[in-house]
Amino acid sequence: MEISAAAVRELREKTGAGIMDCKKALAQTQGDLEKAITFLREKGLAAAAKKASRVASEGVVQSYIHGGGKVGVLLEVNCETDFVAKTDGFNELVKDIALHIAAMSPQYVNRNEVPAEVVEKEKQIFATQAKESGKPEQVIQKMVDGKIEKFLKEICLLEQPFVKNPDVTIEKLVVEAIAKLGENITVRRFCRFKVGDGLEKKTTDFASEVAAVQA
């Protein structure tokens, strides 16, 4: 079938894919725009998986301040070339991830970074809670495994649902950027600061304070 220039242009605007790729996708899907979008996305994700092993040593360090200076984030995201590091698409991705970190407070980039002792401590807590239910041992083990899986997804950045679109995880957001920008992209490290974090607020007995001043 003949593919119109208008259809190619619309698909390109929606996906950011090249003209020839858009034309091929429309031809493969009989001109169905939504199916063509899916076709391009699947093709891009497959290509992204192949790029995952490539060295990413360029990139940016992004800062993000939120809540009137109450929360701050420093984030390093790497790509393969300085050219991509300067593109709007890459920098938009980095800003979105920094915003997400400020909002959702992940503790690690991925589950490989979670210390074994942290996981073991949670397992013991969950096991104690599960045993109180009186269920059989094999059921208790499944309950603990399920809670550990949920725990890891909650504390690992790449596994968290993106704050601006909960249907997409941060990992998928990165993979989609790899497909679109054509380079491997990795979230290397981050640090989140919150004013007063880790400090106990001192409560003062007003009457005692007055007495101390008068003494």
211 domain residue, yes or no: no
Residue (of 114, 95, 94) closest to 106 by Cα position: 114
Sign of CA dihedral 154, 155, 160, 164: positive
**Greater pLDDT, 163 or 38:** 163
- Is residue 162 included in any domain, yes or no? yes
Q: Has residue 215 been placed in a domain?
A: no
Which CATH number is 182's domain given?
3.30.479.20
Q: What pLDDT shows up at residue 49?
A: 57
The verdict on residue 165 lying in a domain is: yes
Quick: pLDDT tens for 25-68.
Answer: 888 888 888 888 888 776 665 555 566 667 678 999 999 998 78
- Cβ atoms of 66 and 72 within 8 Å: the answer is yes
**Residue 214, domain member (yes or no):** no
pLDDT for 210 equals: 47
* Domains contained in the chain, number: 3
The predicted model scores a pTM of 0.69
Give a yes or no: residue 212 inside a domain.
Answer: no
Verify that 36 and 103 share a domain, yes or no: no
Q: Do 182 and 91 lie in a common domain?
A: yes
| Residue 69 pLDDT > 50 | yes
- Residue 120 half-sphere exposure, CB side, CA atoms within 13 Å? 3
Distance of CA 205 to the CA centre of its chain: 44
pLDDT of residue 70: 93
| Residue in 179, 161, 178 with CA at minimum distance from that of residue 170 | 161
Residue 111: phi, psi to the nearest 5?
-70, -20
Same domain, 124 and 38: no
Q: What is the pLDDT at residue 206?
A: 44
Domain enclosing residue 179, as ranges:
58-112+156-194
Give the pLDDT confidence of 105-153 residue by residue, as tens digits. 999 999 999 999 999 999 889 888 887 777 778 788 888 889 999 999 9
CATH number for the domain including 17? 1.10.8.10
Return the axis-axis angle of helices 88-104 and 170-181, rounded to nearest 10°.
Answer: 180
Q: Do 37 and 128 belong together in one domain?
A: no
Residue 200 lies in a domain: no
